[in-house]
Amino acid sequence: MTLPPNLSQIAQAVASGQRSAVDVVDACIARIEATDGRINAFTGTRFEAARAQAARVDAQRARGEPLGPLAGVPFAVKNLFDIEGEVTLAGSKVNRTNPPATADAVLVQRLQAAGAVLVGSLNMDEYAYGFTTENTHYGPCHNPHGLGHVAGGSSGGSGAAVAAGQVPLTLGSDTNGSIRVPSSFCGIWGLKPTFGRLSRRGSYPFVGSIDHLGPFADDLEGLALAYDALQGPDPLDPGCFATSVQPVARLLPQGVQGLRVGVLGGYFAAHANAPAHEAVAQAATSLGATTTVEWPDAAQARAAAFITSASEGGALHLQRLRMQAADFEPLSVDRFISGALQPAAWYVRAQRFRRVYRDKVNALFREWDVLIAPATPVAAPAIGTEWIDINGQRFPCRPSIGLLTQPISFAGCPVVAAPMWPSGTEGLPIGVQLIAAPWREDLALRAGWALAQAGVAHAKEPAL
């Protein structure tokens, strides 16, 4: 099955009048209906509302009114984003009895204001606690490049829907790697922005002190267009620290000219198999990176991120755990309970470390502009896998998928996940992380653009 036009191509075709928004959305709906029985990316659809919204875009053009930069582009969202009139499931069974959302999440509103058309909500690990989207309540999400393999998590539906060509744009969340892992496993582009860059208002939380929201897309230029539409201050969200909009799409052609690009070694080399190393080497060659760089305290940062996630996640769901533990996801309920029982002193120590750790990371970017690392240690494991091998060592599968992403998000740095296609994976992708200093998404996106222009990083037709 051939991939449909990508995000930036759709935006250009609708803007120029070559295609109508209704035609684009009808094709998207047909693709979802033809493929989702095998992928299981969607947990909810709103096709008639989408057709009506697309018709309004076409009516705007007919009246000669200006269109938004994403006019007619279909998108879907991880089901922890509020959609007005629908219950926000967050991958759970417990939330089914909650009242419907009274308004769309802020980021959903911003995409719609840019002309994008919402078509549905997407599968995820329950309450965002997982790396595989093997959801017991709604079924596992299947990887479009190998249907017997996981799509990653916790935003697995967001990654799989883009990789399958169902929609060119999705929204997800990333606490410990939940945008970068599905991007890596599904072979698409993802952006975890700086912590606090985008509003989280109207999304179901997991770990308030680490949660990030961001986009997935099937091309780098489209990812930048979406990110620009998502930007902006939100005075009603105390966790949004942005004070202005900093457009990046127009900066992409600068590429890596003048940038200092390095490759992370040490911890990141030790926790990646040969195909992941090959993906990094390909990216490094294209970007002119020849120097190995040591990231400070990566192992300690991962441990502190685990403690923080368990403590905050357990505290958030404590009352539900007391009353409805049997209704929780079997793959995560014990972790939530153990997190609720963790000594407070552990959490305090993790936060004290985080302050020192971020200072060390920020100092690293005085010497470097972009750093390259694998996004995952391995390609997507088979659904049901309990253990993975990394350089001859046996690791528990689900928590270890985030070995290379957790230290980065704990520092709050922006990361572009770029889709690479190394050998030795039976055709499955492995992504690389393009990491920049906080508030410098533009640099990570410029590096991604350079990889895309070189033909090294790109989406591929899925094995459907």
Structure tokens at 186: 């599904």
Among residues 410, 424, 406, 391, which one has the least CA distance to residue 181? 406
Structure tokens at 358: 């971020």
Structure tokens at 168: 């060119």
Helix 21-39 to helix 7-16 angle (10° resolution) is 160
Residue type, 69: P
Task: List C-alpha distances in Å: 444 to 232, 248, 260, 429.
Answer: 19, 10, 12, 20
From the candidates 8, 92, 154, 332, which is the catalytic residue? Answer: 154
Strand partners, 78: 122
Give the number of other Cβ atoms within 10 Å of residue 26's Cβ: 16
DSSP conformation class of 393: E
Structure tokens at 407: 């230290």
Catalytic site residue 154? yes
d(CA 425, CA 258): 34
Spatial contact of 32 and 40, defined as CB atoms under 8 Å apart: no
User: If DSSP codes are grouped into helix, strand and coil, which group holds residue 256?
Assistant: coil
- List per-block mean pLDDT (blocks of 10 residues) for the chain, which spans 464 residues: 89 97 98 98 98 98 96 98 98 97 98 98 98 98 98 98 98 98 98 98 98 98 98 97 96 97 98 98 98 98 97 96 96 95 97 98 98 98 98 96 98 98 97 98 98 98 86
Strand partners, 172: 214
Task: List C-alpha distances in Å: 42 to 121, 140, 151, 362.
Answer: 6, 11, 13, 38
pLDDT at residue 3, as a whole number = 78
Task: List C-alpha distances in Å: 363 to 291, 366, 369.
Answer: 17, 5, 11
Spatial contact of 177 and 400, defined as CB atoms under 8 Å apart: no
Structure tokens at 91: 């991958």
H helices of 123-194, in order, are 156-163, 180-186
pTM (predicted TM-score)? 0.98
From the candidates 155, 158, 178, 286, which is the catalytic residue? Answer: 178
Catalytic site residue 183? no
Q: What angle do CA 100, 75, 437 make, to 5 degrees?
A: 100
Rg (CA), the chain: 20
Residue type, 78: K
Tell me whether strands 261-264 and 370-374 are parallel, antiparallel or unpaired. parallel
Catalytic site residue 78? yes
pLDDT at residue 296, as a whole number = 98
CATH number of 7-453: 3.90.1300.10
Spatial contact of 340 and 334, defined as CB atoms under 8 Å apart: no
From the candidates 8, 78, 311, 332, which is the catalytic residue? Answer: 78
Q: What angle do CA 89, 91, 92 make, to 5 degrees?
A: 75
d(CA 198, CA 234): 8
Among residues 290, 284, 251, 215, which one has the least CA distance to residue 451? 284
pLDDT at residue 1, as a whole number = 62
Q: What angle do CA 129, 91, 441 make, to 5 degrees?
A: 60
pLDDT at residue 352, as a whole number = 97
For residue 58, report the phi and psi dihedrals to the nearest 5 degrees. -65, -35
